[in-house]
Chain A
Amino acid sequence: MRLLNFRFLKKTDWASLGAAVILSATLMILPQGAKLWLGQKVVGTIFAPLEWPLSRARSLMASWKENAVLKDQLAKLNLEHAGLLEAARQNAGLRQALELKKLSSWNLVTAQIAGREPVLLSPDLLIDKGAGDSLEPGLVVLSTLGLVGLITSADKKQSTVQTVFSPDSRVSAIDLRSRVLGIFRTTAGMSCLFDRVPLRADVAPGDTLVSSGYGGVFPYGLMLGVVEKVGMDKRKLVLDVEVRPALDLNRINQVLVIRGGQDPALPLLTPVPVPDTSAVRAAKRKRSYQPQVIIRAPEFRIELPDTTPLQLEKSPQ
């Protein structure tokens, strides 16, 4: 206990400073291994127990800051991603429109959909081109999905399009396979029908319907839909043909207006044999099937005597 009594410091401070310097010098001249051991022991005993929770707290704070930064980045990237998706969608639409323009001989005007009539069933569409772009009532509007409708009114900067889903709309349609003519219409905007089709007509589910051009309003070849269900009521003179329309008003944001040009020729009304129907494919398979006789060489090996030396002997002669 006497050694721990620091009263001698009263007498002279030099003594304590000297002791401290000697202690420092002793520590300095310790071997490197001893220094390491001493350091690790002291730090591990008196500092490490508090270091662990502190490092957890530091990590938590760092995570909190990092989280805030990452949330910011995520929000920015989400916005950017949404913008890129929209650009890709517009790009695809424009490419399709461009292809359509190349294929047809119509004079087409591209227009964006500026609005929809706020009704649930068969809304009319507003497009951003009008009389100022030489659009007028009666012009046909189509999209990459098929026939859209007809312009009913045109202001200077926008026009109203009555779609094929309007209860007042009637389109002369033709079954591409059987060349049966009928009228494409909707029943109060709820479902689409291929109407006025005689009972004995050849219409089957899966048949494609396009505008026939015989009505004089819509040109031939604009996609209308696919026959979904064919029903027969003997009390009626016509078939009940339900059609799944090709057009989905919620999936188009761009349309094309036919402002003039050459309409395609009217279609033939006699059925044309379709080269790739199931019957044709079956006939092809039948024709192509011929029994084949395969002649194979024997698979075992016949060892021949080695004649090389004999040939070598003969070759000088």
Chain B
Amino acid sequence: MRYLKLFLLAWLAVFVQSSLSGLLSVWGLLPDFMAMIIGLTALTLGTGPGILTGVMAGFMADCYHPSTMGLFTLSGAVSGYWAGSLRERIYKDQLSSQLLTVGLLSLVRQLFEYWGRGGGGPGGYFSVLLRFGLGSALFTVLLGALLMPQMKHFLSRPGKTKLSLT
């Protein structure tokens, strides 16, 4: 059941990212739902579930872009690991800490996407970062402030859910 829950969250993140994020586009900036889900899972449940969610969501995202298959899986896994490793170093229950982590994750994922798709050198990355990356990360943080409390409630519901693996 717990893995099904993680799978559903990953599936939902990819589906919303691929199908609905266009409706939320503001000045060409899109929110990063996958970063939101991976970050929240890793902070709430630990590094393992974070990596697992990252791998599942990344693999589903890779299926939309088969030519670069594996790239999003890798970025999801690294994001989950990194967010999970922060868990012991920050106030993980504070919403502001979670939002900051999610914003940084969004930037990391964009870094992977940029280099994985042959975007160019570091100069180009900083240009993309200034034009879209920071705005998208900020947008993700703002949207996360609304959605993440509900998602956290869903993840850590008492009863059958026993995901405290760490």
Contact = CB atoms under 8 A, between A and B. Distances in A.
B52 interface: yes
B15 A50 contact: yes
B118 interface: no
A32 B67 contact: yes
Given A6-B48, A26-B70, A39 B64 contact: yes
B73 A23 contact: yes
Nearest to B48: A9
Contact of B47 (A13, A23, A36, A42): A13
Interface in B36-75: 46-49, 51-52, 54-55, 58-60, 62-67, 69-71, 73-74
B166 interface: yes
Interface residues of B, number: 39
A27 B62 contact: yes
A308 B20 CA distance: 93
Contacts of B64: 39, 43
A51 B63 contact: no
Main secondary structure of the interface of A (DSSP, over half): helix
B133 interface: no
A172 to B, nearest CB: 80
A13 B84 contact: yes
Interface in A1-26: 4, 6-7, 9-10, 13, 16-17, 20-21, 23-26
A35 interface: yes
B108 to A, nearest CB: 14
A7 B70 CA distance: 25
A17 to B, nearest CB: 5
B11 interface: yes
A21 B55 CA distance: 9
Interface residues of A, number: 32
Interface in A41-65: 42-43, 46-47, 50-51, 54, 58
A38 B47 contact: no
Contact of B165 (A7, A23, A39): A7
Q: Which of A16, A35, A36, A40 has the most CB of B within 10 A?
A: A16
A47 B57 CA distance: 13
B156 interface: no
Interface of A: 4, 6-7, 9-10, 13, 16-17, 20-21, 23-30, 32, 35-36, 38-40, 42-43, 46-47, 50-51, 54, 58
Pairs A-B, 3 closest by C-beta atoms: A9-B48, A20-B77, A39-B66
